[in-house]
């Protein structure tokens, strides 16, 4: 029940967040273009991630799915919250991140050890959340993960 509640909160907050808080332009790329990139590339792995979960590219939120791919984070509610803890550890600060962390910690206090582990993983990585991922789609994913110590 709480997973459903959190998912609904995300759906309600997504559109205003995209419109009012996310800067920059949406990527002009389709999933079928991503999976035509080299099989070791970040873009190919993003395309596979989107296909695996039957997701579409969300305008101005493309980086979110890239973070999933780079950190090998799943899509359950707890894993989504954990990814925000990872990003906090990596240095990211945003209103949305704090809202997810606050609500996630309140709704899932028994998962705090997992959240703390994700935070520590983010601290161990070199800051990468602000990279221009659109221009990195053809870069081998392992090169990015090794360069930025993403585990």
How many domains does the chain fold into? 1
Which range of residues forms the domain containing residue 70? 2-147
**What is the Cα–Cα distance from 71 to 7, expressed in whole angstroms?**
21
pTM (whole model) above 0.95:
no
**What is the Cα–Cα distance from 6 to 138, expressed in whole angstroms?**
34
Task: Please provide residue 110's backbone torsions phi and psi, each rounded to the nearest 5 degrees.
Answer: -75, -10
> Following DSSP, what letter does each residue of 52-89 receive, concatenated?
HTT--PPTT-HHHHHHHHHHT---SHHHHHHHHHHHHH
Q: What is the pLDDT along the chain (151 residues), one digit of tens a residue?
A: 667 766 666 666 655 555 555 567 889 999 999 999 999 999 999 999 999 999 999 888 899 999 999 999 999 999 999 999 999 999 999 988 999 999 999 999 999 999 999 999 999 999 999 999 999 999 999 999 999 999 8
Q: Are 150 and 125 in contact (CB under 8 A)?
A: yes
């Amino acid at each position: 029940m709480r997973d459903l509640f959190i998912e609904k909160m995300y759906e309600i907050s997504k559109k205003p967040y995209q419109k009012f808080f996310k800067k920059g332009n949406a990527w002009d790329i389709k999933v079928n273009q991503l999976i035509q990139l080299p099989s070791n590339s970040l873009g190919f792995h993003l395309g596979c991630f989107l296909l695996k979960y039957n997701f579409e590219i969300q305008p101005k939120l493309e980086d979110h799915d890239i973070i999933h791919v780079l950190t090998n984070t799943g899509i359950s509610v707890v894993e989504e919250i954990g990814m925000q803890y990872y990003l906090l550890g990596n240095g990211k600060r945003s209103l949305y991140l704090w809202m997810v962390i606050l609500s996630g910690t309140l709704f899932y206090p028994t998962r705090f050890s997992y959240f703390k582990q994700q935070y520590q993983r983010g601290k161990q990585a070199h800051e990468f959340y602000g990279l221009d991922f659109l221009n990195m789609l053809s870069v081998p994913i392992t090169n990015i993960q090794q360069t930025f110590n993403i585990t």
